Amino acid sequence: MIYATESIRIQNVNKLFSTPAGPIAALQNITLSIGEGEFFCIVGPSGCGKTTLLRILAGLDKSSSGNVSITAGDCGRPVNSMVFQEQSIFPWMTVENNVEYGLRMRGVAKKIRREIARHYIGMIGLSQFANAYPAQLSGGMKQRVSVARAFANDPEILLMDEPFGALDEQNRILLQQELLRIWEGSGKTTVFITHSIDEALCLGDRVMVMSAHPGTVKTIIDIDLPRPRDIATIRTLGRYNELYQQIWLALREEVRGRK
């Protein structure tokens, strides 16, 4: 898949962790680029370095060698927003205050940030809960708030580390569909880690399969399924099954290799 503009460039990235038992090679020679507006999914066996790579992209960790560059446009915008698996919203703030938090930190005027927050709260179906506190919400609702907050923040790139991993299946499907709808409207470059081949296929433009320890790029597969996508119908397509097989075969070798 060819993108007109590159959003993220990762060149020869290696990551070594020092531990009392000696160095651990988490990432080895990762080179790839992600296009502007692309939805890029990462799958790989547990411990292959997915989170490490995302943390390096987020600037939360440094690579041991190699380069990462993110094309930044409007200098008033944050470079990235991250959504984690565990809920990371502030328990002492209402839904609305949580969603507008990043905008407030950037000094966006109250009226404008309220408008933006309400827009995204509406998109995730929580308008009636705008003034509720996280303790009054279910796990799925809290995760919706995290997603709305990330989009409201209007970053250059969105980084999502298994954001729906802890949800039950019904909630996961609803959130995947909502994420697709918001993402399709925003055109934001998104990097999304998941353990689910199905989730990667439903959401992604491309799926990178990582090899087991140390993590390398095993293969990157184009997901040529039509958009806009409806989660329920996408799974009925023959092409979905072919791509599923392709990803599973690449992944199976890595999962087996660890045994």
Ligand X SMILES: Nc1ncnc2c1ncn2[C@@H]1O[C@H](COP(=O)(O)OP(=O)(O)OP(=O)(O)O)[C@@H](O)[C@H]1O
Stretch that binds ligand X, among 45-53, 135-143, 198-206, 247-255 (CB under 6 A): 45-53
Residues 15-44, one symbol each (x = binds ligand X by CB under 6 A, - = not), give --x-x----x-x-----------------x
- Is 51 one of the binding residues for ligand X (CB under 6 A)? yes
Instruction: Indicate the residue among 26 and 95 with the shorter CB distance to ligand X.
Output: 26
Binding residue count for ligand X, defined by CB under 6 A:
13
- Is 10 one of the binding residues for ligand X (CB under 6 A)? no
CA–CA dist 92, 71 (Å, integer) = 35
> Which of these, 63, 11, 52, lies nearest to 213 by C-alpha position?
52
Cβ burial 168-188 (10 Å sphere, 16+ → b, else e) = eeebbbbbbbbbbebbeeeeb
- Is 50 one of the binding residues for ligand X (CB under 6 A)? yes
211 DSSP 8-state letter: P
Q: Quick one: which of 7, 8, 38, 49 contacts ligand X (CB under 6 A)?
A: 49
CA–CA dist 157, 226 (Å, integer) = 23
Q: Quick one: which of 37, 47, 66, 78 contacts ligand X (CB under 6 A)?
A: 47
Q: Quick one: which of 5, 12, 46, 67 contacts ligand X (CB under 6 A)?
A: 46
DSSP string covering 168-204: -HHHHHHHHHHHHHHHHHHT-EEEEE-S-HHHHHHH-
Instruction: Indicate the residue among 22 and 107 with the shorter CB distance to ligand X.
Output: 22
CB 155 within 8 A of CB 80: yes
Q: Which residues bind ligand X (CB under 6 A)?
A: 17, 19, 24, 26, 44, 46-52, 213
